[in-house]
Chain A
Amino acid sequence: MKTKTFPHGIHPQELKEATSHTSLQPLPAPEKVIIPLHQHFGSPAEPLVKKGDEVFMGQKIGESKSFFSACVHSSVSGKVMKVENYNHPLGNPVPAVTISNDGDDRVFPEIKKHKNPLSLNPEKIRHIVKDAGIVGLGGAAFPTAVKLSPPKDKPIDTIIINGCECEPLLTADHRLMLEYPDEIIQGAELVRIATGAEKIILGIENNKQDVYKLLQKKNYTFPLEISLLKTKYPQGAEKNLISALLKRVVPRGGLPFDVGVVVQNVGTVKAIWDAVNTGKPLYERALTVSGAGITSPKNLIVRIGSLFQNAIDYCGGLQDSANILVMGGPMMGLAQGTPDVPVIKGTSGILAWAEPEQITEHNCISCRRCVTHCPMGLVPTQLMKYSKLDYLSEAESRGIMDCVECGSCQYSCPAGIPLVHWLRVGKNKITDLKRKKSA
C-alpha cells in the first residue's frame, strides 16, 4: 500500500509496543482535583466559584469573555477547597481551583443531550464546543471554537483529522481510534458541518494498520477518506500533514485556513462528539503513561486536575532509575521538576525514563544533517549561530519564526548541540522586541 508523506523529517525509535495493545481504562478519580484556570492557548479563564461552593461534575468553574480562550469545568462533584496558585506543567504556577471529591460523580443538572446532533446548524455546534471548553487535545490546546470559526473570506473545503500520533511512546490516540471509531468519525462530521467543508480526510501513520483495517470495514456514509501516511516524525505537524495529504503549502506565518483546511486531532473530535451528543464538557482526556521509568505503562482516561502522581501511582509507580519526567511526547514534551502537577487538557502523555549520560557538545562541523531533516526547510545551525550572537534580524529573515520546535534537527545533530534551545532563545528575543516596539 502506497503511503503519503512530506519531505525531510526523521524516524526515531517508536517504542509504542509497551502500550499500543493496552485498552484505555479510567484512572479512578482522586480525592481532590486541582484544576488550573489557564490550560489553553489564549486568555486565562476567570473563576466562577469560590471557596466553600458545592460543584457538580461537569459544572463550569472558569470562563473568559475573550474569544481566544476556553472555559474550564469541574471533573468531579464536591466542594471547592480553595482558589489559589498551584504548580502548572507549563511552568509558572497559575490560579487553580482545588475541589475535594465527594466520590458521587453527581452530574451537573443543566447538562443535556441533543437530539439528532448531526442535524444541528454550524452556529449551534460552535456554541456547544465553546461552552464545553474544548481545545486541541494534540498538545497545543488551541481553543477549538476559534478553529471552527474560519474568516468569511477563507472558505474551508477539507477537514483533516490528525491520527498520526507521530511522537514516540504515545499511543492514546491510537487506542481512541480503535475503541471509539464511531464517536471520532461523527465528531469529524460535526466539524465538517460547522465549517461548511466538503470532505474529511483521516490521516494515520502506517504503524496503525489495525485502525486502517477497522475503519475500512465500517461503511460510513460521510464524505470520508482514510489515508495511510508513512511512519515518520513529525508527520502530525499541521503544515507537514497538510502538505503530505493535499500537496498544499500553507504560506509562511499563515494558518491552515489559508489553504482551505481545518486540522483536528482525533481526541478533539471525540470530545466534540461527546459534547454535542451527550452534553458532556471537556473534563477528562485520554493519555499515555509510559517510558522505561514507569513500572506498568498504561493508557488512561484521566480527569483534568488529577495529579501526575495519581496517574503514576496507578501505573505501579516510578522505577528507581527514572530521572526525567516529561509531559507530552519525548520530542516536544516538557520536562517536569515534580509529579505534583495537575493533568491539563493538553496533557497527551506522562513519560518517565532514565536519561543517558550527558552528551559531550562538539563544534558544528556543518554536516548538514539538521538541514536534511528540518521539515520546515530551515538551516538550524545557521539560526543557532545568529541566535547566540543576537543577530536577530538575520535570524528572522532566515525563518527562525517558522521553526515549529519539532526537534528533528537536534535529534540528528552529531555534535550534540542544543539547537532547539537556541532557536527558542532567538524566537523569544524577537517576540519580546516586537512587544516592546508595539507598546
Chain B
Amino acid sequence: MTNNRFILKSSPHFKGKDSVPKIMYAVIISLIPAIAASFYFFRIRALLIYLLSVSACLITEAVFLKARKKPMHSLWDGSAIITGLLLAMTLPPSLSLEIVVIGAVVSITLGKHVFGGLGDNIFNPALVGRAFLQVAFPVAMTTWIPPVTNQINTATYATPLGNLKFQAAAAQGALTPLKDLFWGNIGGCLGETSAVALLLGAAFLLYKRAIDWRIPVGIISILTVFTGIFWLTGPDKYASPAFHFLAGGLIIGAFFMATDMVTSPISPLGAWIYALGIGLLIGIIRLFGGFPEGVMFSILLMNTFVPLINRYTRPRILGERSTH
C-alpha cells in the first residue's frame, strides 16, 4: 500500500504560532498611538508624510523583490511598512514632500536591499534614510513648525533640545516644561513629540514580548546616570534626566529603533553592551556634540558593532564548562 497520501518531511512536526508578519504587525499596532498623536498635532501634513513615506517604501521594496527574483509575499511581511512609518515619524513636519519620498527610497535601497534585504541589513533602514536626508538637506531637516495646537507665532521655532543646546535654555530657565514634553504639545519630529503615546505603544510591545526589554532599559538607565551626574553638578547649565528622557527622539529610538531585531545583538549580554553604548553616545552628543540630538547617530554607530558584539558574547554551549 505505497501511496502519496503521507507527507514526508523532517522533524519537528509541530510548530508554534509565531510568525514574522505577526511580529511586524505587532510593531505597527504599537505605533498607532504615536501616529494618532501626530495627526492631532500636525493634521494634514502628518497624513501626507505618512502616506508618501509608506507607499514609497512599499514601491521601492516591490521593485527590489522583483529585480532580485525574491518571493513577493515578503512585500507584505510588514517590514517595509514599519520602515516607512518610522522614517516619517522622524522627519520634521514641515519637510517638503519630495524629500520624504527620497528618504523612503534611500531607506529601502541603501538601508536594506544593498545588504541583501530583510534580515541581512546592518543598519536600521529608517535611520539610514534619515541620516541621508540630514546630510543632503541640512536646512530642511532642521526647520521646525509648532504643532497646530500651540498658538505660538514665531519664525524661529525650535525643538526643546534645540533650545537647550543653542539658546542656553537651562541657564535662562526657559526649558520646555516636562508636562508639554509628556503630552507632546511641542515642536519636533512628526511622531516623536508625544512621550505618552509612544510609551503606550512601547508597553504593548513589551507585553507582547516583541522587543528585548534590556535594550530600552539599558539605554535609559545609562542616559539617566550620565545626564544626572552633570545635572547634579550644574543644574543651571544642564537639563535634568527627566527632560532628556522625554525630549527628542529618545523614546522612539530606545523602544522602536534600537530594538530592531535584525540590527541588534543576539545574546542578553550583547544586548546590554549595545544598549549601554547607545545610551552613553546619546548623552555625549546631546551634552557636548555639535548637534542637539544624538539618538540617530548613536543607534547607527552601535549597529556597526553588532557583529563584533555577537562574536564575543555568544551563549555558552551546554557542557562547555562541565561540572562534576
Contacts and interface: CB of A to CB of B under 8 A. Distances in A.
Tell me the interface secondary structure of chain B in the complex: loop
Residue of B1, B7, B12, B21 most packed against chain A (CB within 10 A): B12
A363 B74 contact: yes
Contact of B324 (A260, A371, A411, A416): A260
Nearest to B323: A249
B69 interface: no
B151 interface: no
B289 interface: no
Contacts of A421: 10
Contacts, number: 173
B324 A332 contact: no
Given A250-B319, A323-B6, A339 B1 contact: yes
A93 interface: no
B8 A402 contact: no
Given A252-B320, A337-B6, A360-B73, A415 B13 contact: no
A331 B14 contact: yes
Interface stretch (B35-43, B154-162, B260-268): B260-268
B10 A363 contact: no
Nearest to B270: A368
Interface in A400-431: 402, 405-407, 410-416, 418, 420-421, 424
A371 B316 CA distance: 11
B6 A325 contact: yes
A374 B323 CA distance: 20
B315 interface: yes
B218 to A, nearest CB: 16
B20 interface: yes
Contacts of B318: 239-240, 243, 249-250, 252, 375-377, 402
Interface in B211-264: 212, 261-262, 264
B132 to A, nearest CB: 23
Given A339-B1, A365-B118, A334 B18 contact: no
Contact of A366 (B19, B71, B73, B262): B262
B6 A252 contact: no
A410 B73 CA distance: 21
B112 to A, nearest CB: 11
B23 A254 contact: no
B3 interface: yes
User: Which of B5, B14, B120, B320 has most chain A Cβ within 10 Å?
Assistant: B14
Instruction: State which size class the interface on B falls in.
Output: 35 or more
A234 to B, nearest CB: 10
A243 to B, nearest CB: 7
B66 interface: no
A250 B323 CA distance: 7
A259 interface: yes
Interface string B131-165: 00000000000000000000000000000000000
Nearest to A12: B14
Nearest to A399: B317
Contact of B119 (A364, A369, A377, A410): A364
B117 interface: yes
B171 to A, nearest CB: 45
Interface in B257-304: 261-262, 264, 266-267
A378 interface: yes
B2 interface: yes
A379 B311 CA distance: 11
Top 6 A-B pairs, shortest CB-CB distance:
A407-B12, A363-B119, A251-B322, A252-B319, A414-B18, A362-B20
A168 B14 contact: yes
B16 A10 contact: yes
B261 A367 contact: yes
A379 B315 CA distance: 8
Contacts of A432: none
A439 interface: no
B278 to A, nearest CB: 17
B323 A248 contact: yes
A191 B264 CA distance: 50
B14 A355 contact: no
Contacts of B21: 362
B14 A330 contact: yes
